[in-house]
Amino acid sequence: MNSFAVVNHWLHLISVIFWIGGNAFQVFVLSPFIKPGDPSNETLLKISKRFTKISLFFLIVLVVTGGMNFGVRRAGHEVIPPGYISALAVKIFLVVGMAAFPVFSLIRPVDEENPSKAFNLPQAKMNLAIGMIIVFIAAMLRQWQF
Ligand code: HEM
């Protein structure tokens, strides 16, 4: 057994669980309890900033461990099926889409004068949907025989 591959795969999965799980928590658990002024905009702003920071951290871990996953998967194979490469490319394209929200918030943070937009439910829903498609493609990659 390749212990490096196991730890790397584990880190990849843990990061996926925490990132997509965070979005799922916002959509299914948190959103029904958010009322105007309750919790305060200040609290929402803190939650939003913290989640953005955590998302960026997991994004970096995912990119690094994803590259390693690919290295492990292709080891010993002269030729990788073009279909596998295409599916991986679509996955990476979607990862870029999912990463856009936390990355752009670095450039343009939530307006502190108007913090009511701090809890962005449409963004959480969008990221959850993209994340579910990415995990579907990951399952396809897993089952690809070559
Ligand atoms: C640039 C970033 C990423 C790269 C290069 C990458 C690459 C990979 C590769 C090569 C595998 C192994 C596939 C195989 O078994 O043949 C994998 C597994 C996986 N990836 Fe990623 N990945 C990235 C980001 C993500 C993200 C953002 C998510 C989810 C939101 C994700 C979800 C998964 C899951 C769930 C698996 C495990 C599949 C399984 O064990 O059954 N990956 N990734």
Residue 115: pLDDT band by 50, 70, 90 thresholds?
low
Question: 7 falls in which pLDDT band (50, 70, 90)?
Answer: very high
Ligand 1: residues with CB < 6 A are 12-13, 16, 20, 62-63, 66-67, 69-70, 73, 92, 95, 131, 134-135, 138-139, 141-142
Q: Which two tokens stand for residue 41?
A: 């905009």
Atom of ligand 1 nearest to the CA of 19: 30
pLDDT tens figures, 11-42: 999 999 999 999 999 999 999 998 888 888 88
Q: b vs e for 93-124, b when ≥16 Cβ sit within 10 Å of the residue's Cβ?
A: eebeebbebbeebeeeebeeeebeebbbeebb
Instruction: Give mean pLDDT, residues 48-75.
Output: 95
